[in-house]
Amino acid sequence: MADGSIGLWTVPLAVLGGAIRVSTPFLFVSLGECITERSGRINLGLEGTLVMGAMSAYGISYLTGSPWLGVFAAGITGALLGALHAGICSLPRVNDIAVGIALMLFGTGLAFYLGKPLIEPTAPRLPAIDFGWWSDIPQLRAALRINVMFLIGVALAPILYWAFRTTRWGLLIRTAGESSDAARAMGYSVLLIRLRATMVGGFLAGIGGSFLSLFYPGSWNEGLSSGQGITAVALVIFARWDPLLCLWASLAFGGAAALGPALQSVGVTSGYHLFNAAPYILTLAIMIITCSPKRTLTGAPAELSITR
């Protein structure tokens, strides 16, 4: 211990740290997508929203010196992209999945184009709260340096769970997602509900992107997302459209992403490609275990284009 090493304890610690550090973007995107999909629409464009959010947050933080303003700007950017998706999908005979793919390419392309001058400068980052003050193990303290956005995300999951069940807004979103005829019969505009749900979803995804560029890994470059947005959209299906399950799934994905590097650092070097693929193997395994030929996906909103 004299040399500051903690040996094999690195692995569980890295998985814990990874769950906290890596999971936040997954959490925000999947909660946002959860709201959108519950209203009966799939927005695959959140990968583009995530990257646009990361870029705009970094840009605004660099220009104004305030990372929190950057987070806000990322949210607004995301909401605008969400509005664009919902607006196009409001037109008759438009497929939401096709629009989503188009917006994914549009968002990443636009972010790369506008983000060119932002690769070199260093923008102010979001602060971390030191939750490991009680420990004198530096590794543990590092793992417990938590950004407040993670805490907001963790709090948001049960709030959404509650809101879907007991609030009027939650009921309306669910009605639009389960039966658009019922929502129309009640006198509500399904398109307006979906527009708002997609904008809120985009807002959260944009904020998820700001975490990538302003906290961890903490800078803007073009490989930043490497598919995390699209993974998070898949997480929602995996979590059965349940915000609480989205939280656990995001934590599991974050922890699994840390597993590969951590195992290599303690000397488990064989098959690191396999460990790097751990999150995807986990998804496949759970999908296979929980699928059934006798029924459709439990919890799937009936109006989704994939279940309809």
Partner 1 sequence: MEFGRISRRHLLQGGAALTLGAAAGARPSFAAETTIGFIYVGSRDDYGYNQAHAQGAAALKKIPGLKVVEEEKVPETDAVEKTIESMINLDGATLLFPTSFGYYNPHMVKMANKFPKLHFEHCGGLWSDKDPKNAGSYFGYIDEAQYISGIVAGYTSKSGKLGFVAAKPIPQVLRNINAFALGARLANPKATTQVIFTGDWSMPVKEAEATNSLIDQGVDVLTCHVDGPKTMVENAARRGAMVCGYHVNQSPLAPKAYLTGAEWNWEALYPKFVKMIAAGESIPNFYRGGLKEEIVKTSPYGEAVSAEARKRADDVKAKFLSADGYAIFKGGLVDNKGKTVIAAGTDRGQKDPELEKMDYLVEGVVGATS
Tokens of 97: 């999945």
Distance CA 213, CA 121 (A): 12
Which residue of 189, 265, 296, 307 would you call a contact of partner 1, by CB under 8 A? Answer: 265
User: Is residue 262 a contact residue for partner 1 (CB under 8 A)?
Assistant: yes
Q: Least distance in Å: CB of 228 to partner 1?
A: 7
Task: Name the helix (H) or strand (E) containing 130.
Answer: strand 128-130
Nearer to partner 1, 14 or 84 (CB): 14
Q: Least distance in Å: CB of 306 to partner 1?
A: 28
Which residue of 113, 270, 293, 295 would you call a contact of partner 1, by CB under 8 A? Answer: 270
Which residue of 39, 49, 77, 228 would you call a contact of partner 1, by CB under 8 A? Answer: 228
Stretch that binds partner 1, among 7-15, 43-51, 281-289, 299-307 (CB under 8 A): 7-15
Alpha helices in 91-227 (DSSP H): 96-115, 138-143, 148-166, 168-178, 180-185, 190-214
Q: Least distance in Å: CB of 122 to partner 1?
A: 6
The helix-helix angle for 228-238 and 278-290 (nearest 10°) equals 20
Distance CA 26, CA 7 (A): 29
* Amino acid type, 174: R
User: Is residue 179 a contact residue for partner 1 (CB under 8 A)?
Assistant: no
Which residue of 113, 120, 292, 295 would you call a contact of partner 1, by CB under 8 A? Answer: 120
Burial class of 4 by CB neighbour count within 10 A (0 to 12, 13 to 18, 19+):
exposed
User: Is residue 13 a contact residue for partner 1 (CB under 8 A)?
Assistant: yes
Nearer to partner 1, 53 or 82 (CB): 53
User: Is residue 124 a contact residue for partner 1 (CB under 8 A)?
Assistant: no
User: Is residue 273 a contact residue for partner 1 (CB under 8 A)?
Assistant: yes
Task: Name the helix (H) or strand (E) containing 146.
Answer: strand 145-147
Collapsed DSSP state (helix, strand, coil) of residue 137: coil
Burial class of 55 by CB neighbour count within 10 A (0 to 12, 13 to 18, 19+):
buried
Site residues for partner 1, 133-172, by CB under 8 A, read 139, 142
Q: What's 219-261 look like in SS3?
A: CCCCCCCCCHHHHHHHHHHHCCCCHHHHHHHHHHHHHHHHHHH
Q: Least distance in Å: CB of 43 to partner 1?
A: 23
Which residue of 65, 94, 105, 116 would you call a contact of partner 1, by CB under 8 A? Answer: 116
* Amino acid type, 182: A
Per the DSSP assignment, residues forming a β-bridge with 145 are 130
Q: Least distance in Å: CB of 223 to partner 1?
A: 4
Residues that bind partner 1 (CB under 8 A): 3-6, 10, 13-14, 17-18, 21-22, 112, 116, 119-120, 122, 139, 142, 216-219, 221-224, 226, 228, 257-258, 260-262, 264-267, 269-270, 272-273, 276
